[in-house]
Every structure is written in structure tokens, then in C-alpha cells.
Structure 1
Amino acid sequence: MAEPTPADVERLWEQFHQVVNMTSDEIRVWLLTDASNEDGAFPPDPDMHLPELGTQVVEVLRKRKRDLTPHDTDVMRQVVDYVEDRTENPPPSAERNEEWRRSLMSVGHDPLKP
């Protein structure tokens, strides 16, 4: 795959920040809570399996655009594609479909957030 141009990165940065509507702290707490079924206030157990893509989203959100790596742009593209795909055809009664919402929140998109 070709190296993205600065214009491509700018466009992707904007798309990523449009679909990711949770802060890095909100995602981190959500991932810990979802994985542990607790309050997420403590560091994760090393045996706890946190979603890799979700933890990478947290890392990208904590970066400045100029500090992005090619891996970061891949993560951003994956998240944009995933959220767009999942929200394009939500399940019936989406607000009641907790599994759908949880899958989106694991990458930083809360479909119930305004």
C-alpha cells in the first residue's frame, strides 16, 4: 500500500475524530470496565484481554497529528471503516442492542452520545 499523502492523513485525521466521539479516558475506563465488569479504576490485570484496536485508539487520541506513525494511520483507517460499516446498518431497536453498542464503544464510538 502506498504511503498516505499529507492531504490523505489530514482527511483521515478529521474522519477519525468525527467517528471517535469518546475521549481517551472514557475509552480506557470503558475498556477496563467492559473487560473486568468492575468500575475500571484500577490498572488492568495482565491476564485481562483488552481489545487491541481499542487500546490503539487510546494511544492515537493521545498523539498530535504530526507525531502519527504509519501504524497509527492504519489504526485510524480501521476504526473509521469499522464504525461506518457498523452504523450504516444498525440492528433493529439499536438503542436496545447492547452488543452492537459495546462493539462500537470498544473503538471509541458511543452511538447514544449526541
Structure 2
Amino acid sequence: MADALELDALWEDFHRVVNMTSAELSAWLRVSDADEVTEPLPDQAGSPTGQHVLAILQKRRTDLTEADLDVMREVVDSVTEQTDVENEPDAEDTRRRHRLMTLGHDPLKA
């Protein structure tokens, strides 16, 4: 398990890059998984990582598991690699935006 300083830093980084609320992310995961005829059940919508991010957003820091910490690190690294602060928001790159939104980061959100 991470020490207190590392956990604090990871918690802050995660909540800095994940700028969507749990309600926004939940709605996005349902929309992104829906097709013309069906919509998935709320607890089955989106990728496993998107579902895990949603679960983390609904937890307190003291309730995090080692698996949560791994996903948090992965999300922070992934969002950081895929975002360009100087050029955001970039509404033109819809696929990139949707990929990031699956991780809880909406580049068009201030």
C-alpha cells in the first residue's frame, strides 16, 4: 500500500485529471455504450477502466484498495500523456475527447 504522502499526491493528481463528476461519467458511459436499439444497464456501461474510475469517484480516500490505486495511477498517466494543456480545449478531435471522457476527463470542461 502507498504511504500517506504518496496517497495524498495520487489522490490530488487523480481528482485534477478526472474533471467529470460521477453523475457525468455515469451518463457518458451509458451514452457511449448505447446503440440505436439498446442501452446497457448502468452498472454494465463503459469499459472496465471507466467503471472502476466511477467506483473510485464514489469512495472516500480511506476506502481505496490497491487495485484502485493502480487504476488511479493508470488514469493519471494516460490522461497526462493524451492531453496538451496549451491546445485544450480542442473540439475538433472528437475521438480523442471521447476516449478521454471514458477515463473521466472532458477536455472541453474548464
TM-score over 0.5 for the alignment? Answer: yes
- How far does residue 94 in structure 1 lie from its aligned partner after superposition? 3.0
**TM-score when scaled to structure 1?**
0.83
Deviation track 1:48-67 (CA, whole Å, cap 9, x = no partner) reads 6x211110000000000011
Q: Give yes or no for contact 2:19–2:106 (8 Å, CA) kept in 1.
A: yes
Aligned to 1:61: 57
Deviates more, 1:7-16 or 1:29-38: 29-38
Aligned to 1:105: 101
Structure 1 residue ranges without an equivalent (≥5): none
4+ aligned runs moved over 3 Å, structure 1: 88-91
Aligned length: 108
Structure 2 residue ranges without an equivalent (≥5): none
- SS of the aligned residue for 2:69 comes to helix
Deviation track 1:12-63 (CA, whole Å, cap 9, x = no partner) reads 000000000001111011011011047x9872496x6x21111000000000
What is the CA–CA distance in structure 2 between the aligned matches of 1:66 and 1:78, rounded to whole Å? Answer: 19
Q: What amino acid maps onto 1:70 in structure 2?
A: E
Give the aligned CA root-mean-square deviation in angstroms. 2.6
Question: Does residue 1:72 correspond to 2:71, yes or no?
Answer: no
Q: In percent, how many aligned pairs have the same letter?
A: 41
* 1:28-107 correspondence runs (5 A): 28-37=26-35, 43-44=41-42, 50-88=46-84, 94-107=90-103
